[in-house]
Structure 1
């Protein structure tokens, strides 16, 4: 029986079948390679390292919330597809707000307020603070940004508001002079009270420099000079008064001494005059007589009167 051959039909050979199997295995190999790459990339992302002096705030990407308890320093496991971690420093930091960028501030960060008289006052200030670890999640949930951005937005505005409340109730001369320390303490107290709910612990607040308009500074300097001159004159007058009082006391002392001496001399003379009698005088003269009669002429009578013979 004759075999009918269909045109175009061809029996597959062993070599072509082997090639198909090879392509299949190669495809599977590339698939495993891709899976391995994904695993290698994903595995490191499942761990997060929180640096010393920081806390890690766990952010839930799907729900949009954050964990109430932050992660401490060290290595932590997480799901890289559903969670993220934001680090906040909890060590002491210092925010410097100054006109000169060389002082460490970003550009011109001076604080501008007005005094009680409405005079503009600019200040260079610094705020040292720490973050309370347990309140770091609340801080992130409130501002949704990094700590440096919070410093130069919210903290700067809080400092300006506190200083305006304090400086706005005082004369500019008092702020520049005797009440500068009081201004610092009052502003620090307001900052401590208002920043505490967000976890900021204020350690120190400082006013490094105060600047006022030139005309105001000239008037204050002139007033200070006049006050200094008046104080000098008052001190000189007081010195002269003390000196005059001292001289008066000395003169009174000398007069009293002279009077006492004169009184003593007068009393001595009185007592002496009462004690001198004719008999005493004759006795004293007799003690000093050498027994010779004085040579006299005329009608003179000798001073010594010899007693008459019995």
Structure 2
């Protein structure tokens, strides 16, 4: 006999109606309990188990898990790499104001997220990460002058990373990497740096000019010495025989160029008389 027949039949026993209603309620409760008896931990997360509000020692891995309905609650906590970007104002060793922009990559230790949830809660970035970044930056930048912060950026970055990793590890957080993207100083300091760079460039140019002039002078001296040495060697090679040989060569060239006519008058003790053919 179904519920519809019970409703339509006014003479039906009320006890039977009650049993049907109770059965339906029990089935509904069982379905609800069935759904609330399982928890799914998504990829890249861990599950923190709360039993009547108390954090339990076990941490749930990714996947489907059984829990006690209405007694236990599963809080998902992300353990994937997270990024924090911040801009911090600090002072250098020479008391220059420095604004540092830095990006930080970190993640939570999946095996101890229950301890982090118990001691810090889900607001761990605002309570732990951001203050730790500021403290680490201020502690390191105070060890360097403003110019050293620029010229030794890799060294500064390594020290900041070491200090920040130590602070985050106290709360079961793991530092992956940091990147200092910018050091920004006051306008007065920027102008002073610019003037210094201009002066250094001018000094370097003057030094290079002096070196160039020195090299050119040495080259001229070398050329002059080489020419003098060549002349000296030529003088050593000039002999009486060489002079006579050159004279004979000159006479032979003159004879080759002669057209067969005698000159009208020639110099010397005995002049030639023109003889007409």
Query: Is it true that 1:90 corresponds to 2:63 in the alignment?
Result: no
Once residues 199 and 188 of structure 1 are traced to their aligned partners in structure 2, the CA distance between those partners, rounded to angstroms, is 16
**SS, match of residue 13 in structure 2:** helix
Q: 1:228 to 1:125 in 2, by over 3 A?
A: closer
Instruction: Give the structure-2-normalised TM-score.
Output: 0.75
Once residues 253 and 174 of structure 1 are traced to their aligned partners in structure 2, the CA distance between those partners, rounded to angstroms, is 46
Aligned-residue Cα RMSD (Å) equals 3.3
Identify the structure with the greater strand proportion.
2
Equivalent residues of 1:60, 1:66 under 8 A apart:
yes
Once residues 187 and 70 of structure 2 are traced to their aligned partners in structure 1, the CA distance between those partners, rounded to angstroms, is 65
Q: 1:20 to 1:172 in 2, by over 3 A?
A: farther
**Which residue number corresponds to residue 233 of structure 2?**
264
Correspondent of 2:112 among 124, 128, 135: 135
**SS, match of residue 231 in structure 1:** helix
Once residues 111 and 262 of structure 1 are traced to their aligned partners in structure 2, the CA distance between those partners, rounded to angstroms, is 76
Unmatched tracts of structure 2, length 5 or more: 1-9, 253-268, 271-277
**Which residue number corresponds to residue 253 of structure 1?**
222
**1:58-207 matched pairs, under 5 angstroms:** 58-61=49-52, 64-67=54-57, 69-97=58-86, 110-143=87-120, 145-146=121-122, 149-175=123-149, 177-207=150-180
Once residues 165 and 245 of structure 1 are traced to their aligned partners in structure 2, the CA distance between those partners, rounded to angstroms, is 50
Cα drift, residue 118 of structure 1 = 4.4
Q: 1:179 to 1:265 in 2, by over 3 A?
A: closer
Q: 1:234 to 1:123 in 2, by over 3 A?
A: closer
Give the aligned length: 244
Cα drift, residue 87 of structure 1 = 1.0
**Which residue number corresponds to residue 17 of structure 2?**
26
Q: 1:207 to 1:243 in 2, by over 3 A?
A: closer
**SS, match of residue 126 in structure 1:** strand
Question: Radius of gyration: which is bigger?
Answer: 1
**SS, match of residue 198 in structure 1:** coil
Cα drift, residue 49 of structure 1 = 0.6
Equivalent residues of 2:128, 2:168 under 8 A apart:
no
**SS, match of residue 55 in structure 1:** strand
Instruction: Give the structure-1-normalised TM-score.
Output: 0.68
Once residues 94 and 231 of structure 2 are traced to their aligned partners in structure 1, the CA distance between those partners, rounded to angstroms, is 71
Cα drift, residue 164 of structure 1 = 1.2
Once residues 233 and 181 of structure 1 are traced to their aligned partners in structure 2, the CA distance between those partners, rounded to angstroms, is 28
Once residues 77 and 146 of structure 2 are traced to their aligned partners in structure 1, the CA distance between those partners, rounded to angstroms, is 39
Cα drift, residue 20 of structure 1 = 10
Unmatched tracts of structure 1, length 5 or more: 1-18, 98-109, 289-299, 302-310
